[in-house]
Structure 1
Amino acid sequence: MREWSLARQLLVLQAVIVAVIVAGGSILAYLDAASSTKDTAEREVIAVAKSVADAPTLLSALSTPRPTEVLQPFAERVRLDTGVDFITIMDPNGIRFTHPNPSQIGGHFLGNTSDALAGKVLTETFAGTLGPSVRAVVPVLSSDRVVAMVAVGITVQAIAEDLQARLFGLIVVAAAALAVGTVGTYLVSARLRRQTRGMGPQRLSRMIDYHESILHAVHEGLLLLDKTGTVTLCNDAARDLLGVPEDVEGRKLDDLGLPSSLVDGLLSDGPVRDEIHVTDRRVLVVNKSEIRAHGAVVTLRDHTDLQALTGELDSVKGFAESLRSQAHEAANRLHTVVSLIELERTDEAVRFVTDELEIAQRLTDRVVDAVNEPVLAALLLGKTAEASERGVELVITPDTQIDESMLPGRDLVTILGNLIDNAMDAAVDGEGAPKVFVTVQKSSAELLMRVADTGRGLDEEASRAAFSRGWSTKDDNRGLGLALVGQTVRRYGGSIELSQDVGAVFTVRIPVEMPVEQGAG
C-alpha cells in the first residue's frame, strides 16, 4: 500500500478535528439552547402567574358566589395574550376555578401546591391534563392569608417546538463552520503538498536524517544565511573552521567576532568564488552562492595546511634562489680570478680571493655565532645573498643573539621570511640607500623579532590595513604574507607592532608561555 503524503494525512486529520469541534460545539450549543429555553419558560410562567395573582379582578371575583363566571374569561384572555398554554386559578384546596378545557373546571388541580400554600412560589415540570409542562404555582394573598392559588404553565411540547426553531439556525451555522473549516484545511493541505512535494512523513524523516548525517559528516564547512545576514544553519566543520560557539544559529554573522573582510565578503551582493580569507587560526577558501528570495549558501574549505606547504615551498625556492645568487656571485669571482691569473697577476688574484673569503667568512661567522638555530641561520644567510643580488644591504644587528627558537621552522620562516621580503621590497622602492635591519633576540620572557627598512614607510590607513588579506604595497590585491604573519603571531599569543623610523619597523613579540602547542594550525 502506497504511503499517504504528509499533506493528505494532515488534510484527513484536520478534517476530522474540524468535524469533531463543530459537532461538539453544536451539541454544547444545543444543550445551552435547551437550558436557556427552559429557563426562559420558567421566568415567563412565574411572571404571568404573579401578574394574574396580583390582579384586582381576581380578589373581587373570589368574593362572589360564582368566581368562575368572572375568572374563566379573564384567565383565557390573559393566556391568549401571553402565549402560555394554561392558566389555572384554584382555591386553597386545589379546586379549579378556571382551565383551558372548561370540562376540567371544578376538578382537583394535578400538581404540587404545598409551597404555594406556605406563601412561596413553586416551579416544576409536571404531567397534568395537557401533558408534561413547565409550570409555576403562586399564592394569592389577602391579609397575609392564602385565599387562592394561580398555576401558569407551558407544555414541554411547546418548548420543544421553540427549541426546534432554534435548532435549524444552529444546524445552518454548524454546516457553514464545517464548510469553511474544510475549505481552509484543504488550502493549507494544498500549500503543504507543494512545499513537501507530495512526500510522506517517513520519507521526509529519512531525508532529514540523511541531510543531517551529510551536513555533519562532510569536511567542508557549510553556512546558510538569510537575507538579513542571520545564520540559519552551521555544520560542525564550519564551527570548527570559524571557531564559533555551538549556539551560532539564529545569530547575526557580524556578531560572531569574525574578521571584517570575511564578514563583508559574505554579506556583499553577488557570488563569491574561491576567495582566500585569513582568520586567527585558519586560511580559508570561501565560496558563496545566493538563493533567490532566501539568502545565501556559503562553503568553507581549510587552506591552512596547503598554505603552509606553499610557504615552505616558497622558502625552499627562496633558498634555491639564494644558492643561485651565491653561485652567480661565485662564478663572477671565479672568472675574475681566472682572468687575473691569465694576465699573470697572481698576487692580485690571491688578494682578491682572500678578501672575498674574509667577507663571506665574516658574515657566516657573524650569523653562526649569534644564531644557533639552524633554520634561522639558513634563512638569514639566504636572505642576505638574495638582498645582495637585489642591491639591498641586509644588516643583522649586533644585539641579535639566539640559542634556539621556541617556534617550529615552518612558523619561523612564515614570520621572519615574510617580514624580510616585504622590508626588501620597501627598501628598494625608497629614496636612499636600500637597507634592511634584522634583530632576533630570545630572553626568559619572550622571543623578539624586529625588521626595519629604509623605505618610505606606511601612512595611517596603510598601517591599519597592513595585516588584512589582500593588502599589498603593489596594489595587486593579492597580499597574503603579512596576514599570515599576523595569524601565526596571534596563534602563539604574541603581538605585532608597526611603527615608523626612517621607514617601517615591524616588531614581533611571542611569550615563552605559549597558549597553544608549537606547530598548531
Structure 2
Amino acid sequence: MTARKWSIAGQLFALQALVVTLLVTAGAVGAALLARADAREAATDEVLAVAEAVARAPQVAAALRTPDPSAALQPYAESVRIGTETDFVVVMAPDRTRYTHPDPTRIGQPFIGEIGPALAGHPWTVVNTGTLGESVRAVVPVRGPDGTVTGLVSVGITTNSINRKLLSRAPVLLAVTGAVLALAGLGSWLLSRRLRRQTHGLGPAQMTRMYEYYDAVLHSVGEGLVVVDAGRRIALINDEGRRLLGLPPDAPLVDRPVTGLSLPPALVELVTAGRAAHDELILTADRSLVANQRPTALDGRAHGSVLTLRDHTELRALSSELDSVRGLTEALRSQAHEAANRLHTVLTLVELGRADEAVRLATEELALAQQLTDQVVGAIAEPALAALLLGKSAQAAERGVELTVDPDSRLDVGTLPPADLLTVLGNLVDNALEAVATAPPPRRVRVRVTEGAGEVVVEVTDSGPGLPPEQVADAFRRGWSTKRDGRGIGLALVGQVVTRHGGRYEVGAAPQGGTTFRIRLPVGAGSPT
C-alpha cells in the first residue's frame, strides 16, 4: 500500500506515532540532562558539607600542629571518605602539600587545583581535573585558635562516579519511557481505530472526491432533502428543501431541533415520530408537498431518518381541475341519459297523438335547463367556474339535492387565478353535498360568489346538521373529517389558498339551519398571480 493510498486513520496513526516518539525521546533526554545537573548540584552540596565537617573537626586542627600530620590525618580522612562514599578527602598545608590522599604514594606531593579563595578564608567549590580525573570538589579552610588559615581540606567526587549513579537509574528511566510510549501508542491506535470506523477506511483523496460529489448532488437534486439525526435535530438540508419549506436560504439550521422551526405541524409530527412514510401529503402555507421518509440505522441502532419532499402544488391544482372535469363529464352523461328518457317520452306522446302534451313537456325541460345555464353564465363570467357550478348542479340533482346560485352572484374574468377559485368553490360545494347527504329533506345547497371592496367572497350554505363552533379551527386542518373514511383534505386545501392570498374564512350557522362557509380573498396588487 503506497502512502498516497493510506486511509486518514492510517496516516493519523503514523503521524501520531512519530510525534509521540519524538516527544517522549526529547522528554527522556531532557529528564536525563536534568538528572545529571541535579546529580552534580547534589554532589557539590555533599562535598562542601563533608569538607566543612572535616575542617571543623578538632582532631584535624590539632593534627596540623604536630610534626607529622599525616600519621593522624590519613586514617581519619580514609574513614571519612569511605563513610561518605566520596572519591577523595585531602588535607593539605597552605602551600598545597598533601597530608592525606586515597593513593598513599601521592602524600607529600602538591595539590592540583585552584585554592586561592579558600586561602582567603572562603569555602570554594569547583569542577576541576586532578590526579583522579575530572571531579566536583570543595576546598574549605582550616582555622587555628587565632583564626588564621593553618590548612585546607578538599573533598571531591569524580564525574565518573556521578555518571555511574545516573546509569544505575537508567533502567527506571527507560522503563518509564517505554511505558509512556506504550500508552501513547495504544491511545493513538485506539483513536486511529475509531477514526477508521467513522471514516469507513477512506483516504483523503476519496474523502475529497466524496465531498465534491455529495456537494454537487445536494445542490442540484430537484427534490427537497432533509436528514434528521436520532435527537430529531436537522443534520442536513439542501437548497430545495429550504425553498419548499419556506426557510431562509442562509439561516443556520444544522443541529437545530425540528420543533424549533416554523414547519407545518404534520411535517413536525412525521419527523418526530420517525416512522416510514410513502407519498404522504403535507400542506404548507402555500404548497402541497409529497413526503417520503425512511428511518436509518447504523449497527442496529436508530440513526435518524431521511426525508424527501416533492412539490405537488401544480399537480394538485391540475388534479382538482381534472376532478371537476370528471364530475362535469359524469353529470353530462347522466343528463344525456335523462334527456334520452325524456326524448323517448316525447316521441311516445307524439305517436299516441298527444302532441300538445309532448310540446309542453319538452318546453318545460328546456326552459329549466336554459334557466339554470343562463343564471350561472350570466352571473359568473369566469368560464371554468361556471362550468364547475353547472357540473356540481347536475351532481346535486343526482343526489336529490337542490343546488342554487344566488341571483346576486357576480365575478369577472381574471379577478383571481382560476385554479384557486376552483379549489375553493369545488371543495366547499363537495363538503356541502356530503353534509346534506344524510340530512332529512329538503336538502339544499346555496352558492354565492361576489366581488367588491377589493375582495372576492365565496359563500356556500348547506342545510346539513351544522358544524359545532369548537370544531371550526380543526376543520381547516389536514386529516380532520366528519366521515370515518374521509381523508380530511378538502378544507385543508381551501385553507392553503386562503393563507396564500392573505385572506380569511368565516364559519357560522345558517338562518334556516346548517352551516355557512364564507371565504374572503383579497384581489389587486396584494394577490399572487
Matched, 1:403 2:407: no
Decide whether aligned partners of structure 1 residues 82 and 515 sit closer, same or farther in structure 2, where only a CA change above 3 A counts: farther
Matched, 1:4 2:5: yes
Q: 1:112 aligns with which of 111, 114, 130?
A: 114
Matched, 1:266 2:268: no
Note the alpha carbon deviations across 1:14-69, whole angstroms, 9 max, x for none. Answer: 33233222222222222222222222222222222333333344444445454444
Decide whether aligned partners of structure 1 residues 121 and 303 sit closer, same or farther in structure 2, where only a CA change above 3 A counts: farther
Matches of 1:243 and 1:417 in 2, distance apart?
27
Q: 1:303 aligns with which of 298, 301, 312?
A: 312
Note the alpha carbon deviations across 1:148-176, whole angstroms, 9 max, x for none. Answer: 43322110000111111122221222233
Amino acid at match of 2:499: R
Matches of 1:77 and 1:499 in 2, distance apart?
120
Matches of 1:260 and 1:66 in 2, distance apart?
113
- For residue 437 of structure 1, report the CA deviation from its aligned partner: 3.0
Residue aligned with 1:320, SS? helix
Residues 85-124 of structure 1: matches in 2 within 5 Å? 85-124=87-126
Aligned 8 A contact 1:241 1:282 in 2: yes
RMSD: 3.1
Aligned 8 A contact 1:493 1:514 in 2: no
- For residue 85 of structure 1, report the CA deviation from its aligned partner: 1.3
Relative to structure 2, which stretch is displaced further, 292-301 or 158-167? Answer: 292-301
Matched, 1:504 2:515: yes
Matches of 2:502 and 2:386 in 1, distance apart?
24
Partner of 1:218: 221
Q: 2:443 aligns with which of 434, 437, 450?
A: 434
Amino acid at match of 2:218: L
- For residue 352 of structure 1, report the CA deviation from its aligned partner: 5.1
Decide whether aligned partners of structure 1 residues 93 and 407 sit closer, same or farther in structure 2, where only a CA change above 3 A counts: farther
Amino acid at match of 1:167: A
Aligned 8 A contact 2:416 2:523 in 1: no
Relative to structure 2, which stretch is displaced further, 481-490 or 110-119? Answer: 110-119
Aligned 8 A contact 2:324 2:391 in 1: no
Partner of 1:390: 399
Partner of 2:389: 380
Decide whether aligned partners of structure 1 residues 440 and 64 sit closer, same or farther in structure 2, where only a CA change above 3 A counts: farther
Note the alpha carbon deviations across 1:427-457, whole angstroms, 9 max, x for none. Answer: 2233453222333233343332232322223
Q: How many residues align?
A: 518
Residue aligned with 1:43, SS? helix
Partner of 1:178: 181
Aligned 8 A contact 2:294 2:307 in 1: yes
- For residue 107 of structure 1, report the CA deviation from its aligned partner: 3.5
Residues 310-389 of structure 1: matches in 2 within 5 Å? 310-328=319-337, 330-331=339-340, 334=343, 337-338=346-347, 341=350, 356=365, 358-389=367-398
- For residue 414 of structure 1, report the CA deviation from its aligned partner: 1.0
Matches of 1:498 and 1:49 in 2, distance apart?
112
Amino acid at match of 1:268: A
- For residue 258 of structure 1, report the CA deviation from its aligned partner: 1.9
Matches of 1:471 and 1:280 in 2, distance apart?
17
Relative to structure 2, which stretch is displaced further, 160-169 or 364-373? Answer: 364-373
Matches of 2:143 and 2:449 in 1, distance apart?
124
Note the alpha carbon deviations across 1:435-488, whole angstroms, 9 max, x for none. Answer: 223332333433322323222233466434323333332222533222222222
Aligned 8 A contact 1:444 1:512 in 2: no
Relative to structure 2, which stretch is displaced further, 424-433 or 91-100? Answer: 91-100
Matches of 2:198 and 2:285 in 1, distance apart?
41
Matches of 1:460 and 1:63 in 2, distance apart?
128
Decide whether aligned partners of structure 1 residues 139 and 367 sit closer, same or farther in structure 2, where only a CA change above 3 A counts: farther
Residue aligned with 1:388, SS? helix
Matches of 2:459 and 2:120 in 1, distance apart?
117
Matches of 2:29 and 2:304 in 1, distance apart?
50
Identity over the aligned pairs, expressed in percent?
A: 48
Partner of 1:128: 130
Aligned 8 A contact 2:98 2:110 in 1: yes
Q: 1:17 aligns with which of 16, 19, 34?
A: 19
Amino acid at match of 2:438: D
Q: TM-score, normalised by structure 1?
A: 0.87
Matched, 1:483 2:492: yes
- For residue 295 of structure 1, report the CA deviation from its aligned partner: 2.3
- Unaligned stretches of 5+ residues in structure 1: none
- For residue 409 of structure 1, report the CA deviation from its aligned partner: 1.0
- Unaligned stretches of 5+ residues in structure 2: none
Partner of 2:172: 169
Matches of 2:138 and 2:378 in 1, distance apart?
125
- For residue 4 of structure 1, report the CA deviation from its aligned partner: 3.2
Residue aligned with 2:89, SS? strand
Relative to structure 2, which stretch is displaced further, 374-383 or 58-67? Answer: 58-67
Matches of 1:56 and 1:505 in 2, distance apart?
127
- For residue 362 of structure 1, report the CA deviation from its aligned partner: 4.5
Decide whether aligned partners of structure 1 residues 322 and 406 sit closer, same or farther in structure 2, where only a CA change above 3 A counts: same
Note the alpha carbon deviations across 1:212-266, whole angstroms, 9 max, x for none. Answer: 3233332233332222222222233333333334532222222222222222223
Matches of 1:408 and 1:72 in 2, distance apart?
124
Decide whether aligned partners of structure 1 residues 39 and 385 sit closer, same or farther in structure 2, where only a CA change above 3 A counts: same
- For residue 356 of structure 1, report the CA deviation from its aligned partner: 4.9
Partner of 1:160: 163
Decide whether aligned partners of structure 1 residues 513 and 134 sit closer, same or farther in structure 2, where only a CA change above 3 A counts: farther
Partner of 2:210: 207
Amino acid at match of 1:373: E
Amino acid at match of 2:6: S
Decide whether aligned partners of structure 1 residues 43 and 437 sit closer, same or farther in structure 2, where only a CA change above 3 A counts: farther
Matches of 2:406 and 2:161 in 1, distance apart?
119
